[in-house]
Amino acid sequence: MQTTPDDPDRPTTALPGRPPIVEQATWQAARDELLAREKAHTREGDALAAARRRLPMVEFDGTVEVVGPGGRVPFLDLFQGREELVVYQHMWYDGAPHQGQCEGCTTTAWHLRDAAYLNARGVSFAVLTTGRWEEVAAYVEFMGYTQPWYSVRDVPAPVGGEMGYLTSFLRDGDRTFLTYSTTGRGNEPVNGSLALLDRTPYGRGEEWEDNPDGWPKGRSACWSWRTDADGNATWGPTSRPVPQWTRPGATPEKALGRSGPHH
């Protein structure tokens, strides 16, 4: 059995379910090889971003009204005087308790609680959802969200309509334009935790991932976005979206109480 040069009593044989043990030089060579692929991935990402900036845009009526803390306001107000606006369109379940709202959207919205860096680049940020404002306001207060939220119930697309999207808008005076929209895994850039998990040995712990034999068995996508009171990832009847457990009064519930989606 081989041993490491700095500790002759420590074997170099692989530990079950863990990466192989190698010397620093061997690790560095493998890391350099991967780095070349990562740089190529970055350059392709830059090319995709350049293509996004060249997408055509669609003009729509920016005077359409949405509902916020101060009542009804024109969509134009969401730009806060800036030229660009990014919104996250949060799915909503009418009549559901806080723990019954969309766990994926909850997690996405939680990860961008301060838009200072966006604002510094002339970009405003807001969260839109189709819930009734009185329900939305209670949820925002419970979660402690600091970004502006608005109800777009019965408002046509691209402001309202189907939720679960990350969407960008541009303003030219009083004219407003849709420039970009994405959903599904396209929303992941907002969720920095996923990018960090992708850089750990075990990744996200989801079953679709390509992992070596012997790695911990993955579970369904997004399984870790809900936990019970003890922090165990579960979709059981006493689970809540993960960020909610840090909120005062977050206790287990026997039923989620969803009365049907409105998205």
Helix (H, G, I), strand (E, B) or coil at 178: strand
Q: Which positions ≥6 away from 34 have C-beta within 8 Å?
A: none
> Residue 111 falls within a domain, yes or no?
yes
CATH number at residue 112: 3.40.30.10
Range(s) of the domain holding residue 106: 58-193
161 in any annotated domain: yes
Question: How confident is the prediction along the chain (263 residues), in pLDDT tens digits per residue?
Answer: 444 555 555 655 678 889 999 999 999 999 999 999 999 999 999 999 999 999 999 999 999 999 999 999 999 999 999 999 999 999 999 999 999 999 999 999 999 989 999 999 999 999 999 999 999 999 999 999 999 999 999 999 999 999 999 999 999 999 999 999 999 999 999 999 999 999 999 999 999 999 999 999 888 888 889 898 888 888 877 889 999 998 888 887 666 655 444 44
Single-letter amino acid code for the residue at 253: E
Domain-embedded: residue 80? yes
On whether the CB atoms of residues 126 and 80 are closer than 8 A, the answer is: no
**Is 151 inside any structural domain?**
yes
Count of structural domains within the chain: 1
Answer yes or no: is 163 within a domain.
yes
Q: Is residue 245 part of a domain?
A: no
